[in-house]
A = this chain, B = another copy of it.
Amino acid sequence: MEAHKISVTKVMTKKPKPANDQLGFGRHFTDHMFIMDYHIEKGWFDPRIVPYQALTLDPAAMIFHYGQTVFEGLKAYYTDSNEIQLFRPEENIKRLNRSSARMCIPEIDPELALTAIKQLVAVDKEWVPTIEGTSLYIRPFIVATEPYLGVAPAKQYQFIIILSPVGAYYSEGINPVKIAVENQYIRAIKGGTGEAKTAGNYAGSLIAQEKVTNHGFAQVLWLDGYEQKYIEEVGSMNVFFKINGEVVTPALSGSILPGITRMSVIELLKQWGVPVRETKLSLTDLQAAYQQGTLEEAFGSGTAAVISPIGELHYQSHALVLNNNQTGPLAKKLYDTLTGIQYGKLEDAFNWTVSLT
């Protein structure tokens, strides 16, 4: 298949765009979407950009019953030089294909996927918000569409990309959040689907999230599924701790989502000569460091917030207050550097950004 033959059908009438201060996250969608079909006898076919529209699926479509699906999340940024650029999209596409392998979904030509993302964003480029901190969230996903009530990999799929203009995550500047350690529910375990970006992981996590949001916590910190002793990740972020000058983060043990922001943070720290270690990190170790006064900073990393400083970490009867509930200098530097590169304010020494043109 020729990767670049994407047909384009444009809308007759464009939708009104939301005001910059009304964006929120994931509530507004642009005028167009990308769709491509898969049939086991044809492979992937008919890549097309079409007006944003409802999906029409048989009620027996396997996505509704057996959840065979994967997704990605990345952003397009409007730069100071009036360009639009993506942040490490090839990594999202690689992860999409790795998730698909786990979920028995046919892989997609990475070149075609990148072209699809770029062309779709280009068609809807007026939707990329231009105000500081805003961006266009890109959501590629694949769903099993075959109508069949049998537990087996589907023979038909759709690969879809939709776009959502999103507001600044920190409307009043980067700010620490309160996190609660979850000790009843489990997100994932090695041998399960935790490494894959697939719907079931998120569905299973809702109940824990619900429990804590009512108590003023932003997200939960997940522990390992075996002993509920080791730290894994936070809601939709990976997590880092600065202990006695060294940065530690849970190693990718098979149950943690390998974040692209996480990967970028590690690469930046190495470049800066800050010691960084991927390891097995217990809550007990963390508590010990806290008591010794060596737990200097904690923060999450993810596409939505980029860097999210953790001001308080609660578990059982403990409340760890980190860096006086202030954004730490390392979190700040990482945030400034990553967003600086994303918005084209800083030199992109790693070649992380991909321009639309």
Checking B25, B225, B236 against A192 with a beta-carbon cut-off of 8 angstroms, the contacting residue is: B225
Q: How many copies of this chain?
A: 2
Contacts of A60 in B (CB 8 A): 26, 29, 139, 162, 164
Interface size range on A against B:
35 or more
Asked whether B25 lies within 8 Å of A200 as measured between CB atoms, the reply is: no
Checking B25, B149, B160, B193 against A139 with a beta-carbon cut-off of 8 angstroms, the contacting residue is: B149
Contacts of A190 in B (CB 8 A): 186
Contacts of A150 in B (CB 8 A): 25-26
Checking B27, B102, B202, B226 against A65 with a beta-carbon cut-off of 8 angstroms, the contacting residue is: B202
CB distance from A145 to the nearest CB of B (A): 11
Judge if A52 is at the interface, Cβ distance under 8 Å: yes
Contacts of A275 in B (CB 8 A): none
Convert A128-140 into 0s and 1s, putting 1 for each residue whose CB lies closer than 8 angstroms to a CB of B: 0000000001010
The chain B residue with its CB closest to the CB of A190 is: B186
Checking B25, B104, B199 against A206 with a beta-carbon cut-off of 8 angstroms, the contacting residue is: B104
Contacts of A26 in B (CB 8 A): 60, 148-150
- CB interface residues, A 120-159, toward B, < 8 Å: 137, 139, 141, 143, 147-153
Convert A48-65 into 0s and 1s, putting 1 for each residue whose CB lies closer than 8 angstroms to a CB of B: 000011111111110111
The chain B residue with its CB closest to the CB of A154 is: B206
Q: 13 new A-B pairs (CB below 8 Å) besides A29-B147, A54-B56, A189-B189?
A: A26-B60, A54-B58, A55-B61, A55-B64, A59-B160, A67-B198, A102-B207, A103-B203, A153-B210, A186-B189, A186-B191, A192-B225, A200-B201
